[in-house]
Amino acid sequence: MISRKKALLWNIREIHGKKLVECNVCSRNCTIGPGMRGFCRNRVNIDGELYVEYFGVLSAVESRPIEIKPFFHYWPGSTALTFSGWGCSFRCPWCQNYHLSQRDPNPLLGVYLQPSELVEKAVKIGDEGICGSFNEPTIHLEYILEAAEEARKRGLYSTIVTNGYMSRRALEKLLDAGVDGYSIDIKGCPETYEKILAANPDTVFRNAKYVLDNEGHVEMVFLVVTKANDTWDCIEWVLSRHIELLGPETPLHVNRYYPANRWSEPPTRIDLLLQIAERAREIGIEYVYVGNVMDPSLESTKCPKCGKMLIIRHLYSIVEYRLERDKKCPRCGYRIPIRGNYIEKKYHRVV
C-alpha cells in the first residue's frame, strides 16, 4: 500500500491571502504553494498542510560494505542495508545518481518497505546497520527517523550519506533518533556553491561541526570536479575550513570525479588529487584518503605518528586490519579514532 504521511518541520505563511507552507527540513526553506511540491520533489502542500508523498516507497535496497560510503573510521568491515528514494535538495550537474536524484518519486518502480520492515530485513541479512544513501536521505527525514529508532531497538547502527544541507532542527532529530554516522559531501568553496548549486558551504561545515560536538561521527568527502571546484583558491578554502572547524582527526576523502549527467569535463587529474592530499596532510589533517583511483596505498590507513600501515583496503574492502583491540597502533601505541568494532566478514551478500 502506498501511503502519504504528514510531514515534520514546517509552518504556515500567509502571503497575499494565500495559505503557503514553508518547509524547514533543509536550509532551502522552500515556500510551497497549494498542490505544489518543494525543490526536492518529495514534500507537497495539500490544503495548507505539508505531506510526504510515497512514504516507504524505496528506489533501491541493497546490502553494501560501509567502506563504500565512504566510511573508513566507522564500524570497519561491516555492512549496512542501504536504501534510497528519489529527489534531492541539490542539483549537482555531475551527479552519478541523477537517475534517482533528479527524478520525481515513482511508486511504479519502487520497493515498498515500512521502516520496521527495512530493519527486519537488515537483521535477517546479517548487516550491522542501515544507511540512507544514493539520493539525499534527509529529504526523507520522517522515514529515516522511524528506521533509526527501530534500528537502535534492534542493536543496529544508523548512518547517512548526505550533502549536509539539513536544517539544525532536522539534524537534532536525526542525532536524537540515533543516526550517528555522517558521510558528508563538501562540494567546493562559496563560489562553487553560489554559482552551481545556489547554496552555501558554511551550512555544511556548521552541520558537520554540530555532529562532532554532539558525539556523532563525521567523514568529509571532497569530490574534486574539473572546472567546478579545482582551483587552488577553492581547494585551500575547503582544507582550511576542515582543519579549523572539524580538527585533525576528522577523515577527509579526496575523490576523483568522472564525467556524468550534464558535466562532461575530463576526469580529475590524479596528480592534482595527490597534491591536494599532500597539502591536507601538511596543514594537519591526519587521515586523508584518495578515492576512485583504484590504488590500495591511497585507500589505506597509516599511523599518523609512526607511519605504520594499519588498515589495508582495496576496492573499498578491508584486506588486512592490524590495529590492537584498543584501536592503538601496534608499533607506537598511537590511538586511531575508530567508531565501533572491526567486523571481519568472509563474504559480502547482495540482496
Q: How far is the CB of 88 from ligand SF4 (least distance, A)?
A: 8
Retrieve residue 202's grid coordinates: 558554511
174 binds ligand SF4 (CB under 6 A): no
Q: How far is the CB of 50 from ligand SF4 (least distance, A)?
A: 8
Q: How far is the CB of 254 from ligand SF4 (least distance, A)?
A: 28
Residue nearest to ligand SF4 (CB): 38
Q: How far is the CB of 38 from ligand SF4 (least distance, A)?
A: 2
Q: How many CA atoms lie within 13 A of 300 on its CB side?
A: 19
**Please, what sign has the CA dihedral across residues 134, 136, 137, 142?**
negative
Helix axis angle for 201-213 and 232-241, nearest 10°, is 20
How would you list the strands of the sheet with 3-6, edge to edge? 3-6, 49-55, 43-46
Nearer to ligand SF4, 53 or 127 (CB): 53
Nearer to ligand SF4, 3 or 11 (CB): 11
Please name every residue paired with 279 in a beta bridge, in sequence order, or none if there are none: none
Please name every residue paired with 110 in a beta bridge, in sequence order, or none if there are none: none
Nearer to ligand SF4, 71 or 90 (CB): 90
Nearer to ligand SF4, 44 or 290 (CB): 44
- Size of residue set near ligand SF4 by CB under 6 A: 12
Three-state DSSP class for 286? Answer: coil
Q: Which residues contact 97 (CB under 8 A, 6 or more apart)?
A: 84, 134, 135
**Please, what sign has the CA dihedral across residues 71, 75, 76, 79?**
negative
Q: Which residues contact 39 (CB under 8 A, 6 or more apart)?
A: 28, 30, 89
Nearer to ligand SF4, 40 or 273 (CB): 40
Site string for ligand SF4, 17-56 (x = CB under 6 A): ------x-xx-xxx-------xxx--x-------------
Nearer to ligand SF4, 141 or 280 (CB): 141
Retrieve residue 58's grid coordinates: 524505496
- The interface with ligand SF4 within residues 84-113 (CB under 6 A) comprises 89
Nearer to ligand SF4, 7 or 118 (CB): 7
Q: How far is the CB of 274 from ligand SF4 (least distance, A)?
A: 36
Site string for ligand SF4, 119-148 (x = CB under 6 A): --------------------x---------
User: What single string gives the DSSP state of each residue in 3-44?
Assistant: EEEEPSSEEEEEETTEEEEEE-SBTT--EE-TT-B-TTS-EE
Write down the residue that cell numbers 527495512 correspond to: 118
Chain positions contacting ligand SF4, by CB under 6 A: 23, 25-26, 28-30, 38-40, 43, 89, 139
